[in-house]
Each structure stands twice: as structure tokens, then as C-alpha cells.
Structure 1
Amino acid sequence: MGKKAILIGALDTKGLEFQFVKDALQACGTDTFVIDTGVLGDPLFEPDVSADEVARAGGSSIEELRTQNDRGTAVAVMTQGAANIAVQLEKKGIVGGMLGMGGTAGTTVAASAMQALPIGVPKLLVSTVASGNTRPYVGVKDIMMMYSVVDIAGINRLSRRILSNAAYALAGMIRHTGLEQETADEKVTLGITMFGVTTPCATRVREILEKKGYDLLVFHATGTGGLAMEELIKAGYIKGVADITTTELADELVGGIFSAGPNRLEAAGAAGIPQVVSVGALDMVNFGPPDTVPAPFKERIFYQHNPTTTLMRTTVSENRELGRILADKLNKGTAPTIVVFPKAGVSLLDIAGKAFEGKEERCALYEGIKQHLRSDIPMIEMEQDINGPAVADVIAEHLLKLLEHKKEG
């Protein structure tokens, strides 16, 4: 069985639209495979996976869901079932790409299936909510969301164009998936974390490692960036990390908008891959526009990075706790690990004469790490700030050594 375009959605209420997309894909020469997630009634056409099969994969049945007549329960069951079905199909090797469409419920169900697929598999979601907050649907996966403009309710002059575009986009992605592998070499892939205020360091490290023949993935440490990197570590794509910018720990601790959750900085340790870790941008917590900063913080030190991003300086006590958190996370891992601590500043703002210059804060951060870090994990102290060329050179040099040692072992 070859690769197919997997269509997922409610064939009872959106059957006409899915039939249109199915026909458009097949006209492009793309085979289709349809998963029905409709709960209310019978499908407009026969799917390859029935709604009852999806419900049973989610721990219930269509009959039970119809008897309960509770929308929230139905969506939860079908969401879980869709994800489980997607995993099964991926294991069978038939998923060339996936396309879903719907409103809030249909988007939720289809997104769960897409999030269960590996990064790199084409995923396209036509949705009435694609112009709003898409993070709950996209998560850390490469899901492309297309705003439907009008409700997905019938084939009309506008929906015909939009759904055709969606079908042609998926067909093109499926057709060309894998072509990049024909020219790709066997480079080892590494991850780097970066923020605007640690860009000079991350850029120099990346350039050094690229010259040594490594393939570098750079992640913007905005919460989703850290999560995406750790998802790729778990999936086995990334074989080593220069975790220069651990700022997401500060947002998790203090309540900023760029938290990567409670498990950030743990994936590399659990996977046993080499990592060099630093303290980039732990001088700041991120908020939106000034009027979104919580009232309890109003007396703190702020820097207006741009109209939509307000940075707040971390305190001495917060830095001491961040040091402990960072050390505890590294202590739990089995990975070859080195910490690099730049004593003259952890960002472009935490240097002499800049808004977040903080010797006491850095000292507290250093003490928090030093007091709790396992004795067998080296911490290299640098007199420069994090963006000094010497710091980048040390980070790159030691990651290369760890990688070489791992290869020899």
C-alpha cells in the first residue's frame, strides 16, 4: 500500500466538502484515505475508517456517544481516537500527508491526529479559527493552518477556491516529499537555542559547527521553540545540543508568556545526547504590551523590547532559584553535559551600562548552579559576557569534544 493523502473530518456534516477535496486530490493523481469523525449521523460517503472505529480507538463507541448526547465528551473521545488511528496508519507506512477541516470541534479532532504524526509529514488544516490563537492546535508540530474565511458549509464560489487550494497544496507537498533527501548527505543534526539578545553567541557557535560538517537547527526560545527542540530530541532527529538560551526557565518560574513548560531542559539528558548548556537571557521574563504585565510586578525593572514585547528583569532570589532549577534538571540526566557560565553578562541587556546589568543577580544565579550541580558535571567559568566571541568558541569547542567522544564510545 503506497503513501496516501489522509482526509480526516466529520462526514455527516462536512461530507460534501470532503468529497470535493477528495475528488480534487484524485484528479491530481493523489490517492486518498478517509477517516470519518462525525458523531451526529451517517456519513455522506463510505470512509476507509468509520466513526465507530475512531470512537472505539478513543475508548467508547458511536452508539454510546449518541446515547450520552454530550458534545464535550464526544469531542474528547474522537480527539483521542483520531490520534490513536493516526499513529496506527503511520506505522503501516501509508501516511503521505494529512488534511482536515472544520470549526472548533473539527479543528480540535483533526489537530490531535496531526500532532500524533512525525514532524516532516505534510499536515494541512482548513479551519474557521485559523486567524486566531493557533497554538493549541499547532503545538510543536509543523501543522499548516489555512483560514477558511467562510464557514465550511457547502460548496460555493469562495469555498470552492479555498478548498481547491488546500487540495492542490497537499498534493504538491506529498508529491515532493522526500526529494530533499535525494540531495541530503549524512550530516549529524544539532540543536541551538537563541534569542535576539543572545544572537551573536548563537550565530558564532552555529558557524563554527557548520564548518565542522554538522547540520544545525536553531530554535527561538519563545516557549514553542524550546518545546519543538525537545520534541525533535525525543524523536531522535537531534544528536547534540548547544542550549545557549535557557530563558524559558525564567518564564516558567515567574509566569511569563514564553514558558516551555515544567520539563524544559530535560530531553537531552533523558536521551543521553551531548549537551553544552549556558544561561542565556535568564535575566528576563517576557510579557506582551505594557498593559498586559500583571499588577504585582508593576514596581519591577522593565525594558520595552518592541511594542508587543515587554521584558522584566529577574530578581536576585529568582536567579538563585533558576540556578537550582537548571542544576537539578541537568543532574537528572545521563547525557554528557558541560555548563558554560559567562560572568560578565547573560544577554545583550545584562552588560555594563545596559538596562538589565545585574552583578548581584548573576552572582545569585552562579551560586544556585554551583551549590546544586552534580560534582561530575563541569562548569566552565568565562570572564566575558555570553556574546563575547571567546564564550561561543568555548561552547562550540566543548560540544565538538563531547560529540567526538560519543562517536568513539
Structure 2
Amino acid sequence: MSVVIVGTLDTKGEEIGFARDVIEAQGIDVHLIDTGVMDDPEITPDTTAAAVARAAGRDLGSLRDAGDRGEAIEAMGEGAAEIATRLHEEDELDGILGLGGSGNTSIATAAMRALPVGVPKFMVSTVASGDTEPYVESSDIAMMYSVADIEGLNQLSRTVISNAALAVVGMVSNDPDIEVEDRPTIAITMFGVTTPCVQTAREWLEDRGYETIVFHATGTGGRAMENLIEEGVIDGVLDVTTTEWADELVGGALSAGPHRLEAAAERGIPQVVSTGALDMVNFGPRETVPTEFDGRTFHIHNPQVTLMRTTPEENAELGRIIAEKLNASTGSTALALPLNGVSMLDTEGEEFHDPDTDAALFEALREHLDEDIELLEIEANINDETFALTLAEKIDAYMQAEQSA
């Protein structure tokens, strides 16, 4: 067993050396990757900072001479990611630990994000009590707030660092003996307002022998699913909830970025896609909604989440975008339209019920969708059992055809 520690040994050598000693005392090997660029390391690394810079196609001396901290952090992050990936491929990395401030947090988490889901990743950071999304993104990094700065060893830092070190030891040295069945895996996207649909479809699929992984369509959820599709973890996709595209288009808080809906198309795996929660854009508390949206229809989901109804013009553009993404598919693909509403809030009597606005979405999808994409139009709300079972049966049919081909 081997744990890789990523750190700036020119400034944090004492602290990282302490973490190494704690881990080695448990009988686990340690590989130190030095990411310091300003000075010589305080302790001897296994991978030097010069080697890290070379892995990014850079020269350590040039990075030092330039004196641009941002440039150096970016380069060392790229190099650390390359080296961590190689060590993992060579079975020399069973877990990874990082310690530092914002600089090494950026570097070490870049290395962590390059590793597959399931590899233990633990980051002790001075910025772990704030917004960690830029560091974690869609990976399974565990972050621990250092409480005090990681500068010197004292009763507090020794406790925090040793806890982190022992946590990584526990993760790499204990076999949870989890029974893993070799079943085809279907990814499903869900939002609170599409939960009944997903629950019905998931249960139907699991009864027929599929493993399902449900992703919350909160931006990071969509990106996580796309990444796992690219890695080959997912065999089929039931993309019920494409709401992240509404946030990407309009400027909401839960965008998954412009590449959402691309991975399954590129890999050619079966997918059934719908229009779940495209009636809404997500913001934080009501007072955080930009004033440019004054006069729009809002729903206060909770004190932290405000939902805004999409307009006919936005829906028409969403339809065009989603159709173009699906048209690039190289595998079996269907688009399912719930003609009686795309969410819980888009039903008769609810705040977002607006058949004309939905019609703009559906018409744009019909207009721009290629003929080789199967189009299913169902007179139901997205959460009706009829609609959910139609989705489940269609992805099952695609998966069965794929397996028999």
C-alpha cells in the first residue's frame, strides 16, 4: 500500500514530513511529490518539483524566474495530475493526501481530480470552510478545514494533520468487502420536482436487473455523470432532468457547463432524454436574483433556493440546443416529451403551469431534431407513472438491443 502526499516542500516540509511519519508508522509506504517552486525542499521528495514542472512541459527555473504565482500554480497542478495518474496506473498510488493553503490546495486537488472515483482523496486546507466547489468539482475529494494555518507544528496542527493522515491510512488499508454485482449500469438525472418520475423508473429498472446511479441535476451532478460516462462506468443514460441547460443559458446557479449532453452522444451508449425541470432557472435567496429579472415569475423553494420560470423565448432556444446535442449521438437515442408539464410546478394550478411556454420548447425540439432520433410524445406530466414507465421501457429496449447485437 502506498499513499502519495502532494505538498510544497519548500515551505511546508516540516508539516508534510510529520504526516509522512504518521502514515509510515502504520506500515504504509509514502511517496512525496514536491510542488514548491520558490526554494529548495526542506525534506527530500520522491518526485522533485523539477520533475513536476517537466511533466507539465515547463521548466522549474523558468517558473521561478517569472515570479508569476498563478502561472506556477497552474503548471504545477498540471504536472502533479500527470504524475499522480502515472503512479496510479503503475499501482504505486492507493490514496492521496494534500496539505496547504489556497495555492497547494489548487495544485493537490488538480492531481486528485485526475484520479478515478473511488481512489481515496483527502485534502487538508485553510480554505476548506468556504466555497470548495472549484477544488472538488465533480470528484470525490474529502476536504478537512485546517482550523489554523498550516505553518509550523503545534498541538492543534499535529492533531489535525495526524487525523487526516490516519483517515487516509484507514481508507487504503481496510477492505470494506462490498459485494459488487456485474450488472449493466444506467445513469439517471433527478431534481426535487422530477423525483416521482425517477423513483418509478428506477424501481422498474432495478426489478429487471439493472444497477442505477441517480445524479442530482445541480451542475456538479450533471458534470459528474458526464465524467463517469467518459470513463466508461455508465452503460446507458436515462436523462430525465436536463434543467442544468436552463441555468447555463439564462445564467442560473446550477449550470453544468456547455458540454452537458455530450458524453453519451460521443460514446454511443443508449440514452433516453427528457425535458425535466426546463421550466425553471435556479438562484440563491430571493435577494440574490439579478435585478434584470424583475417582473418574472418566481417560486421560493426554500430560504436558500429561488426558482424562476423560463420564458417562451428561452424555451425555444433550449429546444434548439438540446436537439443539436442529441443530433450528434452515435448510439440509440430517444427524446421523450411530457406534453402535460415538465415538473411538479408545471401542472394545472401550480405556479409554473404555462402550456404556451412549454409548447415553445416542444416545437423547437420537433423542428431541430434529426429524423434518426426517436421522438416520443406522451400526453402526461413528467411525474405521471405512464410517462416514467415509458422512459424505463424505452431505455430497457435499447439496452437489450445493445446486448444482443
**Where on the TM-score scale, by shorter chain, does this alignment land: which range?**
over 0.9
Matches for 1:51-200 after TM superposition, within 5 Å: 51-176=49-174, 179-180=177-178, 183-200=179-196
Separation in 2, partners of 1:58, 1:383: 54
TM superposition shift of 1:73? 2.2
The SS at the match of 2:307 is strand
| Residue 204 of structure 1, aligned match among 194, 200, 204 | 200
Matches for 1:195-344 after TM superposition, within 5 Å: 195-344=191-340
Separation in 1, partners of 2:175, 2:41: 31
CA RMSD of aligned residues (A): 1.0
The SS at the match of 2:94 is strand
Residue 17 of structure 1 corresponds to 15
TM superposition shift of 1:178? 6.8
Amino acid at match of 1:62: L
The SS at the match of 1:338 is strand
Residue 393 of structure 2 corresponds to 397
Tell whether 2:342 aligns with 1:346: yes
TM superposition shift of 1:30? 1.3
Residue 359 of structure 2 corresponds to 363
Stretch deviating more after TM superposition (52-61 or 368-377): 52-61
Separation in 1, partners of 2:177, 2:39: 41
| Residue 7 of structure 1, aligned match among 5, 20, 29 | 5
TM superposition shift of 1:359? 0.4
Separation in 1, partners of 2:77, 2:374: 45
Separation in 1, partners of 2:375, 2:56: 47
Q: Deviations over 1:266-316 (max 9, x none)?
A: 111111111111100000000001111111101100000000100000001
The SS at the match of 2:245 is helix
Amino acid at match of 2:42: L
Separation in 2, partners of 1:63, 1:276: 52
Separation in 2, partners of 1:114, 1:85: 11
| Residue 387 of structure 1, aligned match among 383, 390, 394 | 383
The SS at the match of 2:107 is helix
Amino acid at match of 2:236: G
Matched length: 405
Structure 1: runs of 5+ lacking an equivalent: none
Give the TM-score of the pair, scaled to structure 1: 0.97
The SS at the match of 2:238 is strand
TM superposition shift of 1:81? 1.1
TM superposition shift of 1:177? 5.2
Separation in 2, partners of 1:74, 1:273: 39
Separation in 1, partners of 2:326, 2:175: 37
Separation in 1, partners of 2:73, 2:332: 43
Q: Deviations over 1:51-79 (max 9, x none)?
A: 11011112222222222222222212211
The SS at the match of 1:95 is coil
Residue 32 of structure 1 corresponds to 30
Amino acid at match of 1:351: T
Separation in 2, partners of 1:40, 1:101: 17
Identity of aligned residues (%): 52
The SS at the match of 1:179 is coil
Stretch deviating more after TM superposition (123-132 or 207-216): 207-216
Q: Deviations over 1:205-263 (max 9, x none)?
A: 11111111111110000000000000000000010011000000111111101110001
TM superposition shift of 1:376? 1.6
TM superposition shift of 1:90? 2.0
